[in-house]
């Protein structure tokens, strides 16, 4: 598996265009805007705003939706470290809700159990390409007056009730880091249908410039005004999380082929699923009617206790497979959390926070079982050795 095949559309042409224009920043060039417009269209959203990662998107979304000092944000323990980190960065308190054994996604029932008077937001993750339960989560949010940020870093093109997931949460966040369905090298993009939320996200990622609007990241002002010593720029607390124009040029070209990239992974993922189902011990992520799983990776639980996880992986590679990734360590087991390192960010706020493994029995059970098979292949044919290797590995252990 290599990545060169992924950049065979208009990427070079658009990048050259940026370099020829000399307008390399989103504050002056036009590619960020073009990328945002096409991405919003493909995801049936009113607004899209680009960022330099699918982590900074989440940080901006928390701020844009009003999460601040001491608020609680509910997140799953099976996810990348980003969800925890941005919650701390927002001076808020990460509260874990357990996951579901069959979907691997956050459990709505446990979300409801974890709600307190301090809860402000739910940040579910749509893992591996399968949407979290957006009906239940949005209903809980409505009932308790909470905001929802769907971390769909891995779920480009996914649906819920046959509708694009971008139609549900207050903000939906996507990553365009290199392993994702579309790549800008590193990068991220949010979608929302609310103009004020889009504007706040953009301002948070662009230095809090007063001129930013929901659909315009370029700074267009008469030089007489902004070159004047009395001119004031910043009216919101913010960072610089902007996506460079070169990356946005790649993003636009990638989004032109959005369906192609998504359908390719989906097809390979579905075949892996069929092969897994010929065994009774590699249990794929649940299939849900109306929820299109777009298979960032094919994820499954290997439930045989007599087979070591590592041995299964070795066998798969012996049979010509390329790699199997394990699930991340549960976030609360990472040293940054388990050793309390994060508390230094704000001792007054975090000194009493402890996470108990016994509160997350499902995550504890499935984390050691999970296997992720990468699906980043240029064609179904190129993925064939992976499918064969999986089949042979399953037959070997029958
Ligand atoms: C579920 C999830 N959330 C957030 C991120 C963060 O995205 P990025 O690497 O673009 O910061 C990733 C990917 O790394 C991810 O898989």
Q: What mean pLDDT do residues 271-295 have?
A: 98
pLDDT beyond 70 at 32: yes
191-200 residue pLDDT tens: 999 999 999 9
pTM: 0.97
Query: For residue 231, how far is its CA from the centre of ligand 1 (angstroms)?
Result: 37
Residue 150 CA to residue 147 CA, distance in Å, equals: 10
The pLDDT score that the predictor gives to residue 1 is 60
The CATH number, out of the four listed (3.20.20.80, 3.30.70.360, 3.40.50.300, 3.40.640.10), of the domain defined by the range 4-257: 3.40.640.10
Neighbours of 341 (CB within 10 A): 11
Sheet holding 282-284, edge to edge: 282-284, 297-302, 370-374, 325-326
Q: Binning pLDDT at 50, 70 and 90, where does residue 4 land? A: confident
Nearest atom, ligand 1, residue 58 CA: 4
Residue 54 CA to residue 183 CA, distance in Å, equals: 11
Binding-site residues, ligand 1, Cβ < 6 A: 53-55, 79-80, 82, 125, 151, 153-154, 175, 177, 188
**Domain 260-328+367-396, what architecture?**
Alpha-Beta Complex (3.90)
Longest dimension (CA), the chain: 76
Contacts of 85 (CB under 8 A, 6+ apart): 55
Tokens representing 361 are 């029995």
Residue 156 CA to residue 166 CA, distance in Å, equals: 10
Query: For residue 153, how far is its CA from the centre of ligand 1 (angstroms)?
Result: 5
321-358 residue pLDDT tens: 999 999 999 999 999 999 999 999 999 999 999 999 99
Which of 177, 185, 187, 189 best tests ligand 1's pocket when mutated (most atoms within 8 Å of CB)?
177
Short-list 137, 123, 50, CA closest to 87: 123
Query: For residue 358, how far is its CA from the centre of ligand 1 (angstroms)?
Result: 26
Catalytically active residues, by annotation:
180
Q: How far is CA 26 from the centre of its chain?
A: 22
Residue 230 CA to residue 145 CA, distance in Å, equals: 42
Instruction: Indicate the average pLDDT of the chain.
Output: 97
The pLDDT score that the predictor gives to residue 222 is 82
pLDDT beyond 90 at 15: yes
pLDDT beyond 80 at 148: yes
The pLDDT score that the predictor gives to residue 195 is 98
Nearest atom, ligand 1, residue 53 CA: 10
| Segments making up each domain of the chain, as ranges | 4-257, 260-328+367-396
Which of 54, 87, 132 best tests ligand 1's pocket when mutated (most atoms within 8 Å of CB)?
54
């Amino acid at each position: 598996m290599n990545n060169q095949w992924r950049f065979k559309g208009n990427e070079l042409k658009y990048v050259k265009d940026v370099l020829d224009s000399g307008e390399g920043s989103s504050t002056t060039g036009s590619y960020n805007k073009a990328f945002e417009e096409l991405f919003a269209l493909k995801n049936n959203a009113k607004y899209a705003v680009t960022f330099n990662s699918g982590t900074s998107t989440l940080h901006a979304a928390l701020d844009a939706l009003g999460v601040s000092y001491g608020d609680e944000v509910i997140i799953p323990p099976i996810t990348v470290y980003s969800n925890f980190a941005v919650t701390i960065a927002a001076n808020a308190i990460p509260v874990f809700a357990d996951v579901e054994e069959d979907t691997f996604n956050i459990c709505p029932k446990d979300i409801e159990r974890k709600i307190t008077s301090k809860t402000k937001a739910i940040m579910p993750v749509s893992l591996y390409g399968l949407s979290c339960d957006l009906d239940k989560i949005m209903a809980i949010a409505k009932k308790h007056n909470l905001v929802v940020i769907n971390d769909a870093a891995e779920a480009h093109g996914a649906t819920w009730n046959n509708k694009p997931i971008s139609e549900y949460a207050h903000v939906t966040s996507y990553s365009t880091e290199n392993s994702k369905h579309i790549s800008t090298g590193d990068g991220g993009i949010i979608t929302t249908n609310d103009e004020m939320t889009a504007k706040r996200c953009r301002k948070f990622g662009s230095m809090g410039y007063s001129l930013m609007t929901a659909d315009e990241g370029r700074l267009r002002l008469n030089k007489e005004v902004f070159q004047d010593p009395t001119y004031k720029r910043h009216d919101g607390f913010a960072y610089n999380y902007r996506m460079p124009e070169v990356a946005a040029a790649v993003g636009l070209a990638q989004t032109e082929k959005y369906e192609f990239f998504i359908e390719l992974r989906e097809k390979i993922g579905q075949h892996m699923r069929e092969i897994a189902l010929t065994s009774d011990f590699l249990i794929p992520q649940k299939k849900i009617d109306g929820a299109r799983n777009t298979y960032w990776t094919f994820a499954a639980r290997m439930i045989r206790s007599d087979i070591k996880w590592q041995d299964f992986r070795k066998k798969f590679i012996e049979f010509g497979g390329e790699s199997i990734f394990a699930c991340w360590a549960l976030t609360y087991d990472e040293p940054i959390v388990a050793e309390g390192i994060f508390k230094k960010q704000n001792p007054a706020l975090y000194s009493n926070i402890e996470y108990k493994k016994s509160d997350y029995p499902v995550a504890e059970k499935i984390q050691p079982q999970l296997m992720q098979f990468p699906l980043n292949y240029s064609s179904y044919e190129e993925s064939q050795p992976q499918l064969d290797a999986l089949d042979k590995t399953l037959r070997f252990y029958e």
